[in-house]
Amino acid sequence: MTEVVGFGALNLDKIYSVDKIPRADEEGFVKDVKLYPGGSAANTIVGLARLNIKTAYIGKVGSDEEARILLADFEREGVETTLIVRAEGRSGNAMIFVDEKGNRAILVDPGVNDTLRYDEIDIEGARKYRLVHLTSFICKNGLDSLESQKKIVEEFEYVSFDPGMPYAERGLEDMKKIIENTTIFLPSRQEIEILFGMNYREAAEECLQMGVEVVAVKLGSGGCWIRNRDREVRVKPLTVRVVDTTGAGDAFNAGFIYGFLKEKDLEECGKFGNLVASHCIQRFGARDGLPRLSELSL
């Protein structure tokens, strides 16, 4: 059995440095543009690939330059791309405009992300992986991808799930099927409290009753809190110089899943999560700081 397959959105973030953010009928000028491949599950999968875990991705891209960049980036990281569906249309992307004062304006284009039907997925190919890691789709262009996730959870020995705000806001009824099939639940504190409408400790108890094995709640600068049937543990974060927390949660997931696959105990898994996240937040962007195994003193 190979190891982890991610299933979530694929986005290319384009960060434009501009002289000003124009209003209607105004004109601005682009000084520079930088491209950052993203998508929450995709960031976690790249984190795992850098820790020498065998990885693949289930997602959908269009037939455009963005698709080529997203796929080439995965290939550079050693992530298997054969389960990614190539369709007509645009790949998911976001245009982020940043002016000289640091003001931002963002236009998100979900593209084909939300339209991945179950019958388009190579299930036999996906089932070679031991664990599937799920994150949210925006669901602006339909529910196909979410419906496919609800179906695919039954096919795997292990499921890890980070709902993000988009799925937390959809409510428990809609997420029930996925949660009931989840092995490792990886919400932030705010997400689990919104999803269950109660404090995170009580919500974690509910999760266990629904069949989840491990609940790891991300507490930002407070580290994390983890619960399984037998025990609970709070793991303090590392003290580091924070540059940018984009993707901290995704990096945490990579470390935590790595610990789980290596059969570490709850506290060790939490420490790995905090450690990988601490590397991520010392660099700009979601992926630049993701460490290689050789950089970690494990």
Kindly provide the residue ranges of all beta strands, DSSP E only, lying in 120-223, ordered along the sequence: 129-135, 158-162, 184-185, 214-218
Structure tokens at 43: 């960031």
Among the residue ranges 77-85, 99-107, 139-147, 240-248, the one whose residues contact ligand ATP (CB under 6 A):
240-248
Does 5 interact with ligand ATP (rule: CB under 6 A)? no
**What does the DSSP 8-state code read for residue 19?**
S
Partner interacting with residue 220 (select from Mg ion, ligand ATP, none; CB below 5-8 Å by kind)? ligand ATP
232's enclosing H/E stretch is strand 232-235
* Among the listed residues 94, 172, 210, 219, the single contact to ligand ATP using CB under 6 A: 219
Cα atoms in the 13 Å half-sphere on the side-chain side of 127: 7
Does 188 interact with ligand ATP (rule: CB under 6 A)? yes
- Which residue, 76, 72, 65, 55, is CA-closest to 8? 55
110 vs 163, beta carbon nearer Mg ion: 163
- Which residue, 35, 103, 105, 43, is CA-closest to 69? 35
List, in sequence order, every residue forming a beta bridge with 59; answer none if it has no partner.
84
For residue 271, the minimal CB distance to ligand ATP (Å) is 9
The answer to whether the CB of 116 falls within 8 A of the CB of 85 is yes
Torsion sign across C-alpha atoms 161, 273, 285, 246: positive
Does 163 interact with ligand ATP (rule: CB under 6 A)? no
* Among the listed residues 97, 167, 200, 252, the single contact to ligand ATP using CB under 6 A: 252
Does 259 interact with ligand ATP (rule: CB under 6 A)? no
Does 160 interact with ligand ATP (rule: CB under 6 A)? no
For residue 103, the minimal CB distance to ligand ATP (Å) is 20
For residue 282, the minimal CB distance to ligand ATP (Å) is 9
The answer to whether the CB of 79 falls within 8 A of the CB of 26 is no
CA distance 185 to 215: 5
71 vs 186, beta carbon nearer Mg ion: 186
Does 278 interact with ligand ATP (rule: CB under 6 A)? yes
- What residues make contact with Mg ion under the rule CB under 5 A? 249
User: How many CB atoms sit inside 10 A of residue 222's CB?
Assistant: 13
* Among the listed residues 8, 47, 92, 223, the single contact to ligand ATP using CB under 6 A: 223
Does 237 interact with ligand ATP (rule: CB under 6 A)? yes
Residues that bind ligand ATP (CB under 6 A): 188, 218-221, 223-224, 237-238, 240, 242, 245, 247-250, 252, 273-274, 277-278, 281
